[in-house]
Every structure is written in structure tokens, then in C-alpha cells.
Amino acid sequence: VTAPRDPDGFGLDHLPYGVVRTESRQVAVARYTDRLLDLSTIDSELFAAGTLDALLAAGRDTWRQVRSAVSAALQADTTPLVPLAEATPVLPYTVADYVDFYASDQHATNAGRIFRPGAQPLTPNWKHLPVGYHGRAGTVVVSGTAVRRPWGQFPSSAGPLEYGPSRKLDFEAEVGFVVGAPSEPGVPILVDAFAEHVFGLTLLNDWSARDIQGFEMVPLGPHLGKSFATSVSAWITPLDALERAWRPPPSRDVPPPRHLDDRDLPGGLDLELTVSINGVVVSRPPFATMYWTAGQLLAQLTSNGASARTGDLLGSGTVSGPDRDQFGSLLELAWNGTDPLPVGESVRAWLEDGDEVVITASAPANRGGRLELGEVRGRISPAGAAR
Amino acid sequence: VTAPRDPDGFGLDHLPYGVVRTESRQVAVARYTDRLLDLSTIDSELFAAGTLDALLAAGRDTWRQVRSAVSAALQADTTPLVPLAEATPVLPYTVADYVDFYASDQHATNAGRIFRPGAQPLTPNWKHLPVGYHGRAGTVVVSGTAVRRPWGQFPSSAGPLEYGPSRKLDFEAEVGFVVGAPSEPGVPILVDAFAEHVFGLTLLNDWSARDIQGFEMVPLGPHLGKSFATSVSAWITPLDALERAWRPPPSRDVPPPRHLDDRDLPGGLDLELTVSINGVVVSRPPFATMYWTAGQLLAQLTSNGASARTGDLLGSGTVSGPDRDQFGSLLELAWNGTDPLPVGESVRAWLEDGDEVVITASAPANRGGRLELGEVRGRISPAGAAR
């Protein structure tokens, strides 16, 4: 092929992975521009199941071999490619455990100001460890899946509790890290071993019903306010496509504990996100501002002795930059409904039925320019019938 | 066989299921006394993988057919049985999502009194919904697995934060419910449909590091204080063995929301637990006292539209009865270390290396007498090396 260097962000520099259904079958693929390479033509055994799970588990040497082979096959132009338009992406891997963190100091500060006015916005633990919690793996869905407005319990304006469709439905723009190579129980993953274990990343929308979440979450954390759906990109960008994206971590006024010390590592990532609602860009969150880095999140998750499994998904938490047009949730952009956000000719305090939220991001590509991560897209469908 | 009715609690009334490794292979089995029936002799296709996962997914009609066939085979005495002593139990099913609830009012009240003295012990939401959170599915281990003391961060007596082995290691005596038949996204499981979806139950020890948990859990709930290990029984008792165990739910001073209304259902379960440390019984928690019933927990989990999957594990939360010798954790039994618990000739504020905790339980059997649930056993091993 006479390959353009970086056509539409999905050039030879990128080559993300996914799984699609075609008319006849499910197949693991690498994406190149708007075409798909059937990975079973690269390794019939590794991709026999039509999933990426065996690739993820195989480890970094295999990840690099497969990437080289895909690149060579595309440049040799001998393998027929499936047009993207003829395939339907499905969830690209089996999600094992999903842990969502809370790694942006700006987001945590905003949330603290909104929910605990007058108090210190950050809780006492926040700068000593990356706060996180387990989310629901079974309701992680691929980009494009409709998101049904959840039901739940929350205080109503009339006074008594209500059980009904959420009235405060929100998005959270995040980055998701996908664990490939597992770790042994009792053996923490060190902060500098991130790339030995993590296969790649996606964008992630941690849909949140603020009314349900607000009533339920003391003392054991969010549950039903989040568990109805979490959307991830159809395309996993391998870390090997992000060699030029690493940045020094942000400066920190409290030294991290020694097992999270990353002073000498370029642990930050230059990912420039955009969030749009119904086609109108409403925010541009900069991932490089995150206080806790991805390597610290994985190190923390295993620091107590817990093992990580192939398919574990780590969410960064909402990405919010210091400026208001860099906030990563409606909670922050419309300040808990008190200052509705202009969206084209309309305004939004919370998401309405039919609203479509799209998160995109770009990152420095290995050979210059920027690549585009696979978008994560979801439209709100009306709540189910009364029960 | 001339079968004793209920020998050692594992008679024909019971017939729990498990998965074992023998010298040559892994096999799904039903347990009868101290012997095991290879389930592939009952249905070679359903049990071809040597797991229970396909049985769980198959639904209630199949559950009943298999149970009848196992019972018939045992009574016909034509199938050779493997001695329990020659087999090593492994985790009996693939855990999908693990949600741990907090359904005992006595436990929640005790925890509130200990951690928020002077305040209302129950949070405002507690009697309106079963509070719960997602735990780590990937570190659920089978009874008998050693539990390594976790590392973590917590305030030290010297003042500054410490990263070291937990000094406040605890158990929590719980019951675990195993989902078999999945549900559709957006379609809640009604409170009276519990037995259509839940295959059976086990005992569960939700090991907890109170120092790690205490520092991390505001605002997003427990994470590393729990995620290092959760132990479950090797034997799943099918609901069909517990027909006589159902009891009316406890009286409630706050009416549950309508989707959790179980006034007309016998949703409680008469399970009498015992907890022992190093062979000394230290507590006898009565499960029938739980405020929220198992049917309510599953209904709540799906009430927002989230689907349940085959292999989902629901923990009841710590089972604590009204009397002090019925409390289900050391936190409560030794009142946060202030009143150490006599254990034989010794005392315990928290668990020490080498301590073995065993949780057992009995339940009314279908034809009279009581059956014994599979125990959950775990011994504390020392923390890993410094890092």
C-alpha cells in the first residue's frame, strides 16, 4: 500500500486492536484507516477464538511480535482487508475486574467543593494514595451501545424518598487501562513495571446517576449510581503506539509513599480529550494534568498483595483540567445543576433522553503528528417502564 | 447404598456441588458424605469442561433434573465414587462480579458505634436500601487457601503514615449467594424471582484489614482493605436442598421501597453460623436475624437496570446477631481492639499470623434434621517481604 502516514489518526503509527462481528463470524482485528486486518491471518492459533484475550495474556514480547507482523502485512499489501463499514465492533476483550480511580486533583477538588461546601475539598487520604473502588465489570459495554436511563432511589423535591428514573444523569470522561499480563498473588507490580503488564488503553465513559449515587454512597461508596453501564472504546491502542506520549508526572506537594515513587519515570501521558454532547464540543480535558499516573494506579491496586488478571480494567477517574472548559463531567461543567451548560442553542444541567455523548482523544504518534484514540460514544435511551 | 439419612450433614438431603482436582484431572462433582460423584457420569456434555459453570447457566429446570439424577445414581449404587480424601477442591465456579452487602442491622449498628461514636449509628440510607459495593472477583479463593497478611497504608502510632503489613487483620462471617441464570440488561429481577436466578449458597469470609480500610474508604468505599482475599466454601449448597430453611423476614420499622417489598415472602433463611479461631468457637451468628433478605439483595442489585451474570457472587455482609457472642467479626467481638476476645488460653484483638478461622453453618434439611453447609477455612500467613 502507498500508506499515508497518519490518515485520520489510524495510520501505521497506530494500529489499534478490536473485535468485530461480520455477517458470518466474530473476528479479532487490527484497524488500519477505515479497514480491518483479520488477525488470524497473522497467528491462527492465538486468534482462533475470535477474541483478543489470548493476545492480552501472552505478554509484551508477543505484543511486539504481533504488532510488527501486522505492520509488515499491511505494507506488503498481500492480505485482504475488511472495510470497517461492513463490521460491527463488539466489546474487544473479556473484562475481569474493573477498578475505577479518582486520580485528577481538579476533579476531586471540584467534587469536594460541590458536595462538602465549607470543608477541605480533598479528603485526608487523597494525596497519600490513589483512591479507587471496584465497579461492575458485567455492565461494561462497547462504544455505540445505547445507555438506558437507570432507576433508583433518591430524595425527591416533595420530601419523601422516590424510586424512579434518575433525574441527574451524567457522564465522566476517563481513560481506561487494560491489563494483559497477569501478576502473582502477593507480588506487587512495581510502578516502573507498568508496560510489562498493561497492553493498552481506551477511552471510558463512567456514566453516573448523581441522585442515586448521592443517596447510596455513604459509607461503602458508589454502587447503583454507576453500575448500570460503563462504555469503552471499540479500539484498544497498544502502549507500543504511545512511545512519544509519555511525560514527566505533575509536581506534587505531598511526596507519594515509596511504593508509588515515580519521580524518575515519565509516568504522565499527553492525551488531549474532547467531550461533545450532540455534536457540540463542551470540554477539552488534558490527561497530562492528572495527579496520579497510570503506573501508580496499577502499583496501588496490587500493593496489598492482590493479583491483577488478564482483562482487568483500570479507570483513571474523571479527567478534569484546571480550567472550567476542561472539566470532565456535567456535575462540574454545570456545577451540580446550578449553572447549566450551553450546548449549541440549548443548555444542559444533566443529560436528557436522546442526548449523545462522544469522548475522543489524540496523542503524539511515534513518528510525529498525533493519532486518534478510538472514540467512546453513547446515547441516552429512556428509562424502562414503571415497576 | 444403605444411606444414612444425614450422615455428618452431607447426606441425600444435601448433595452440594463442587470442583476437585484428582491426580489426573479436574472434575465437577456432587458430594455425598465423604465421597464424590463425578457429574460427567450424569451428563457428559454439561460437565465436559470439568466446571460447574454450564450447570449454573442452565437454569432451574436443569438444576432440578441434575439433582434428581444424582440422587437416583447414589441410590442405585452403580456409579463408583471418589473418596473426598483423594481430591483437592478448587474454586467451584468462575466468579463474575462480586457484590458485598451490609445487610445486618446489628453489624451496621456496631460499626457505626465504633467508627462514629456520638452520631446516629445507621446512615440515613440504611433502612431504605441494602447498602452494598463491588468487591474484587479475581481474589476470591476456595476454602483452605492460605491468606497472606496484606500490606497497606495507615496512620501509625508514631504519627506519620506507614506503608507496612496490616496490624488490624479481621474476618467477616458472611453467606454468599451464587447467581446461576442471568438476567437481561434493563430488566430488574423481582424480589420473588430469587430462586429462578440463584443456584445456591456458600459461606464466605470477607477478610478485612481495618487499618487499611479505615484510611482509604472515604469517600469511595473499601478497596485495598478488602481486595487481598475473600474465601468461599468449596461446596455450593443448592437452594433445592434448603426448602425448609425459609423463614418470614424480620419485622422492619421503616417500610422497604415497593421494589423490595417482601412482606408476603418467606425471604429469611434459618442458617446457624459458627465462627472458630484455632478450634475455639468464638461466635454463633444467626442468619435469620438479617434485616435485608437475600431476595432483596438481588432485586436491589438489578433495580437500576444492571444485568446479573452467571457466576455473580452476592455477599450478605457480616452476619451479627443481637448478642455479643453472635457478632460476626473481631472488630465487633473485641470492640475495635479495646476489649480483646478470649480464645482458649489466649486473647485476640486482631488476627495473628498462623491463626486459622473456620466458619461453619447448619440449616434445616428437607427431610428433617439439619444439614451442614461447606465450611470456609483460612489460615493467616505472614506478610510478604518489604518492598
Residues A181-196: pLDDT tens digits?
A: 999 999 999 999 999 9
First-to-last C-alpha distance (Å) of chain B: 57
Chain B hits for A224, Cβ within 8 Å:
300-301, 303-304, 306
| Overall pTM surpassing 0.95 (yes/no) | yes
What is the structure's pLDDT at A6? 52
B107 part of the active site: yes
Is the pLDDT assigned to residue A150 strictly greater than 60? yes
Residues B26-53: pLDDT tens digits?
A: 999 999 999 999 999 999 999 999 999 9
Chain B hits for A134, Cβ within 8 Å:
133-136, 223, 227
pLDDT bracket for residue A4 (50, 70, 90)? very low
- Say what the ipTM of the complex is: 0.96
Does A298 touch chain B if contact means CB atoms closer than 8 Å? no
Is the pLDDT assigned to residue A87 strictly greater than 70? yes
- Exactly one of B14, B107, B223, B259 is catalytic; which is it? B107
What is the structure's pLDDT at B284? 98
**B219 preceded by a cis bond (ω within 30 of 0):** yes
Of A31, A2, A29, A27, give the one whose Cα is nearest residue A15: A31
Residue A361 CA to residue B134 CA, distance in Å, equals 29
What is the structure's pLDDT at B267? 94
* Cross-chain residue pair B133–A220, CB shorter than 8 Å: yes
Residues of A with catalytic annotation? 107
* Range A189-215 average pLDDT: 97
State residue A356 phi and psi, 5-degree precision: -115, 125
What is the structure's pLDDT at A9? 85
What is the structure's pLDDT at A156? 84
What is the structure's pLDDT at B3? 42
Does A131 touch chain B if contact means CB atoms closer than 8 Å? yes
Of A148, A168, A183, A173, give the one whose Cα is nearest residue A285: A173
Q: Cβ distance B232 to B161 under 8 Å? A: no
Does A136 touch chain B if contact means CB atoms closer than 8 Å? yes
What is the structure's pLDDT at A3? 42
Mapping DSSP onto H, E and C, the string for chain B reads CCCCCCHHHCCCCCCCEEEEECCCCEEEEEEECCEEEEHHHCCCCCCCCCCCHHHHHHCHHHHHHHHHHHHHHHHHCCCCCEEHHHCEEECCCCCCCEEEECCCHHHHHHHHHHHCCCCCCCCCCCCCCCCEEEECHHHEEECCCCEECCEEEEECCCCCEEEEECCCEECEEEEEEEECCCCCCCCCCCHHHHHHHEEEEEEEECCEEHHHHHHHCCCCCCCCCCCCCEEECCCEEEHHHCCCCEECCCCCCCCCCHHHCCCCCCCEECCEEEEEECCEEEECCEHHHCCCCHHHHHHHHHCCCCCCCCCCEEECCCCCCCCHHHCCEHHHHCCCCCCCEEECCEEECCCCCCCEEEEEEEEECCCCCEEECCCEEEEEECCCCCC
Is the pLDDT assigned to residue A165 strictly greater than 60? yes
What is the structure's pLDDT at A202? 98
- pLDDT above 90 covers a percentage of chain A that reads 93
Residues A321-378: pLDDT tens digits?
A: 999 999 999 999 999 999 999 999 999 999 999 999 999 999 999 999 999 999 999 9
Chain A hits for B131, Cβ within 8 Å:
216, 219-220, 223
Q: Cβ distance A211 to A168 under 8 Å? A: yes
* Range A155-163 average pLDDT: 84
Spans in chain B with pLDDT lower than 50: 1-5
Q: What residue has cell string 452520631?
A: B119
What is the structure's pLDDT at B2? 41
Residues B42-83: pLDDT tens digits?
A: 999 999 999 999 999 999 999 999 999 999 999 999 899 999
- Provide the β-strand partners of residue A269: A246
Of A19, A55, A13, A56, give the one whose Cα is nearest residue A33: A13
* Cross-chain residue pair B151–A215, CB shorter than 8 Å: no
What is the structure's pLDDT at B9? 84
CA distance A58 to chain B (A): 18
Residues A225-279: pLDDT tens digits?
A: 999 999 999 999 999 999 999 999 999 999 999 999 998 899 999 999 999 999 9
What is the structure's pLDDT at B387? 64
Task: Give the one of B99, B218, B307 whose C-beta lies nearest to A123's C-beta.
Answer: B218
Chain A residue with CA closest to B148: the answer is A186
Does B154 touch chain A if contact means CB atoms closer than 8 Å? no
